[in-house]
Amino acid sequence: MTAPACAVDVWRLPLDGRAVVDHGLLSDDERRRLAAFRSMAAAHRFGATRTALRRLLAARLSVDARSLDIATGPIGKPFLPAHPALRFNVSHAGALALVALCEQADVGIDLEPAASFADAPRLWPTVCSDAEQRWLAAHPERAVQAFGRLWTRKEAVLKALGSGLAAGARAVDFSTHMAATSGTTSGVAWQDLTVADAGFAALAAVGAGPLQVGWHDAIA
């Protein structure tokens, strides 16, 4: 039996000059993390992402954004102890963040700048299965693009499962899906995302059927 379609809302958050950091919305821990950044730009991106995330979650739950307790799992994946039915995940790269919200399944999302894969072949052995490496080696003209998609798919899948890329990237195998843009791997539905001028992105949901992605734009 095919699993029913899974609706996931994905919010695009620009982290440029329009992005707002509302210190009053942030928790004590978030303010401590904000103060620990050495780069003002990185601190602003973190603070703006957390501000926007709190607003999005509060709007979905009809609660005060200041009241939300955002906890983290063993590898830092955030969740809401008081509202476990609303699952979410966040990824950001440069001046853009993506937030995935879902009430049907645990989700993971990943966004990576294209520049991250300029020296991709050296990363293949630690990230790709043997079959994936053989495919990349046989298609050198497509290898950088394909590896970018592999990386974000694997990251999204492992974040959805609650682990991290280092925990089992090689075991999540996409060698039979190299030409596809969506599918199911290791019991997790995934889909490549198109994000203009922002590199590579992917979304995943545990135990779900085909993903139905609703895109939204917000000012952080």
Query: Are 172 and 160 contacting, i.e. CB atoms less than 8 angstroms apart?
Result: no
Query: How would you write 164-199 as a 3-class SS string?
Result: CHHHHHHHCCCCCCCCCCEEEECCEEEEEECCCCCC
Both tokens of 119, joined, read 């020296």
pLDDT in tens, the chain (220 residues): 567 889 999 999 998 877 899 999 999 999 999 999 999 999 999 999 999 999 999 999 999 999 999 998 887 889 999 999 999 999 998 889 999 999 999 999 999 998 888 888 999 999 999 999 999 999 999 999 999 999 999 999 999 998 866 668 999 999 999 999 999 998 999 999 998 776 899 999 999 889 999 999 976 5
The residue ranges of every structural domain in the chain are 6-217
The rounded distance, in Å, linking the Cα atoms of 207 and 160 is 10
CATH superfamily of 6-217: 4'-phosphopantetheinyl transferase domain (3.90.470.20)
Amino acid found at 86: L
Cα gap 118→144, rounded to integer Å: 7
